Amino acid sequence: MISTRASYRDIPLYSPAKKPCRVDLSDNTNLFGTPPAAERVLRAASLRAVSAYPAGYSPDLRRAVAAYAGVTPEAVTTNCGSDGIIDSAIRAFLEPGETLAFMDPTFVMVPLYSKMNGVKAAPVPLRADFDIDAEALLATGAKVIYLCAPNNPTGTGLSRAAVERVAERAPGLVILDEAYVDFASGPGFLDLARSRPNVLVTRTFSKAYGLAGMRVGWAVGAPALVAEVEKARGPYMLTALSEAMATAVLTEDGEWVKARASEAVTNRERLRGELMELGLRPLPSEANFLMVPLPGATKVAERMRERDVNVRAFQGLTGVGDALRIGSAPWPLLETALAALRESLR
Ligand code: PMP
């Protein structure tokens, strides 16, 4: 065996417990269908998109995002999912050994990206009301702070006051992950990316936009900041087809996306009512899923999988304990999930 990188020895491959299930509510994707413009692009795709390299830095998508976000293309970066954005932003702004602070609990990939980039992870527990502890995050002195609003896996939002406080006082970059903003009641924090030199707001086509299989994420920030992230990104991170689909969906399918997101929110609240009837207490949610604290959640999720329903189980989350995360979906799927849950709780 050749010698390997010591700090990589305990990095696990990403493998949420999963077997193919008829009803999969485990990854918060759009289960309401495929955006029409994506289907049109796919059917009309040229074989050149297969044999030729794509554009290095996705200029068409950058222009479309710029128009959508009210910024110039230089203020936009794209990547292979918002995963790629987060990874590149960490690498762009931290030398190995420096510190990345993040709220805890949050998106599971964040501590992993910190390991992969050789930086120190400083998790900072959320407050009892699920807002961030701005002072504790700032006290880490970290040159990159990651925030997620609405947060995965809790589904809860962050207060503008606390986010602004962090953005104003942080010594370096603040990454604000808005993968779920399309399901939130407020407008999100894109204005901070437009107005502040140190805030990078990330978005994704994988959730409300229904393109998880195409792997497209984007972010907006000050052009000087984005230029650094583009260096860490490198060229050719999107395929020609991914770029064309994302561009078309962003410019043409706004209404389609909004209508599906709205249905996801309606069904999420209907699901909440049914869960309360079962004596469960889901956290308030601004996303397209509910987090349901439940001791022994892993066992319950296993039993649900035996009934062909996949939901995500978490163990010992800071401030929450064990919990299930259940994605919103067309109501018949949620009914099937509820039936499986009722049987699995017995
Ligand atoms: N951020 C959050 C909070 C997420 O939940 C996810 C996906 N689960 C991502 C980023 C990454 O999404 P993608 O790479 O598909 O854009």
pLDDT number for residue 106 = 98
Q: Are 217 and 80 in contact (CB under 8 A)?
A: yes
pLDDT number for residue 16 = 65
Q: Are 60 and 243 in contact (CB under 8 A)?
A: yes
Rounded to whole angstroms, the Cα distance separating 138 from 346 reads: 45
Q: Whose CA is nearest to atom 5 of ligand 1?
A: 152
Mean pLDDT of the chain: 97
Query: Crossing angle for the helix pair 254-277 and 240-252, nearest 10 degrees?
Result: 80
Residue 136 has pLDDT above 70, yes or no: yes
pLDDT number for residue 15 = 76
Mutate to test the pocket of ligand 1, among 14, 77, 79, 177 (most ligand atoms within 8 A of CB): 177
Nearest to 222 by CA among 230, 212, 210, 232: 230
Rounded to whole angstroms, the Cα distance separating 276 from 268 reads: 12
Which residue type sits at 330?
A: P
Ligand 1 geometric centre to CA of 55 (Å): 24
pLDDT number for residue 215 = 98
Residue 118 has pLDDT above 80, yes or no: yes
pTM of the full predicted structure? 0.97
Q: Considering the chain, what percentage of its residues have pLDDT values greater than 90?
A: 95
Ligand 1 pocket list (CB less than 6 A): 81-83, 107, 148, 152, 177, 179, 204, 206, 212, 217
For range 274-289, the mean pLDDT: 98
Q: Are 138 and 172 in contact (CB under 8 A)?
A: no
Looking from the CA of residue 83, the nearest atom of ligand 1 is: 14
pLDDT tens sequence across 148-188: 999 999 999 999 999 999 999 999 999 999 999 999 999 99
Ligand 1 geometric centre to CA of 179 (Å): 6
Ligand 1 geometric centre to CA of 98 (Å): 24
Rounded to whole angstroms, the Cα distance separating 259 from 139 reads: 42
Ligand 1 geometric centre to CA of 300 (Å): 25
Instruction: Give me the sign of the Cα torsion angle 238, 64, 220, 127.
Output: negative
pLDDT tens sequence across 65-76: 999 999 999 999
Matching residue, tokens 């999100």: 188
Rounded to whole angstroms, the Cα distance separating 9 from 30 reads: 35
Q: Considering the chain, what percentage of its residues have pLDDT values greater than 70?
A: 99
Neighbours of 246 (CB within 10 A): 30
Nearest to 167 by CA among 209, 198, 124, 143: 198
Which residue type sits at 196?
A: R
Looking from the CA of residue 86, the nearest atom of ligand 1 is: 10
Instruction: Give me the sign of the Cα torsion angle 285, 286, 290, 294.
Output: negative
Rounded to whole angstroms, the Cα distance separating 21 from 304 reads: 10
**3-state secondary structure (DSSP) of residue 272:** helix
Q: Are 70 and 205 in contact (CB under 8 A)?
A: no
pLDDT number for residue 276 = 98
pLDDT tens sequence across 82-111: 999 999 999 999 999 999 999 999 999 999
Looking from the CA of residue 204, the nearest atom of ligand 1 is: 16
Quick one: how far is CA 98 from the chain centroid?
24
Ligand 1 geometric centre to CA of 144 (Å): 18
And the tokens for 128? 């009892």
Rounded to whole angstroms, the Cα distance separating 79 from 88 reads: 9
Residue 17 has pLDDT above 70, yes or no: no
Nearest to 246 by CA among 189, 193, 204: 204
Domains in the chain, CATH or no CATH each: 16-33+255-344 (3.90.1150.10), 36-252 (3.40.640.10)
pLDDT tens sequence across 316-345: 999 999 999 999 999 999 999 999 999 999
pLDDT number for residue 33 = 95
pLDDT band at 12 (very low <50, low <70, confident <90, very high): confident
Looking from the CA of residue 106, the nearest atom of ligand 1 is: 3
pLDDT number for residue 274 = 98
